[in-house]
Amino acid sequence: MGDQHMAMPPSWPARIRALAAGEYEPVPARRAATVVLLRDTGSGLQAYLLRRRTTMAFAAGMYAFPGGAVDPRDGEGRIGWAGPPPEEWARRLGTDRSVAQAVVCAAVRETFEESGVLLAGPDAESVVADTSGPEWQQDRAELEAHRLSFAEFLARRGLVLRSDLLGGWARWITPEFEERRYDTWFFAAVLPSGQRAADSTGEADRVVWMDPAEALQGFEAGRLGMLPPTITVLRELAPLSTPEAVLETAASRSLAPVMARFRVDGDRVTVRWPGYERLTLDGVLPAAEGGAR
- Model confidence at 165, pLDDT cuts 50, 70, 90, reads very high
DSSP-derived 3-state class of residue 106? helix
Q: pLDDT at position 292, please? A: 38
> Does 281 fall in a domain?
no
> Does 221 fall in a domain?
yes
Lowest mean pLDDT among 2-16, 180-194, 244-258: 2-16
- pLDDT per residue over 174-205, tens digit each? 999 998 999 999 999 999 998 988 776 656 57
Q: pLDDT at position 61, please? A: 75
- CB distance 175 to 194 below 8 Å: no
> Does 278 fall in a domain?
no
For 17, half-sphere exposure in the C-beta direction (CA atoms, 13 angstrom radius) is 16
Task: Give me the count of residues in the chain.
Answer: 293
- Model confidence at 289, pLDDT cuts 50, 70, 90, reads low
> Would you state the torsion angle of the CA atoms of residues 116, 65, 181, 251, taken in this order, to the nearest 10 degrees?
100
For 282, half-sphere exposure in the C-beta direction (CA atoms, 13 angstrom radius) is 10
Mean pLDDT of the chain: 89
Q: How many domains does the chain have?
A: 1
Containing structural domain, residue 36: 30-255
Q: pLDDT at position 6, please? A: 76
CA distance 207 to 205: 7
Mean pLDDT, residues 118-128 taken together: 96
Mean pLDDT, residues 76-85 taken together: 90
Q: pLDDT at position 10, please? A: 85
Q: pLDDT at position 204, please? A: 59
Q: Shortest CA distance to 32 belongs to which of 144, 183, 178, 161?
A: 183
For the entire predicted model, the pTM comes to 0.92
Q: Could you tell me the CATH number of the domain that includes residue 245? A: 3.90.79.10
> Does 287 fall in a domain?
no
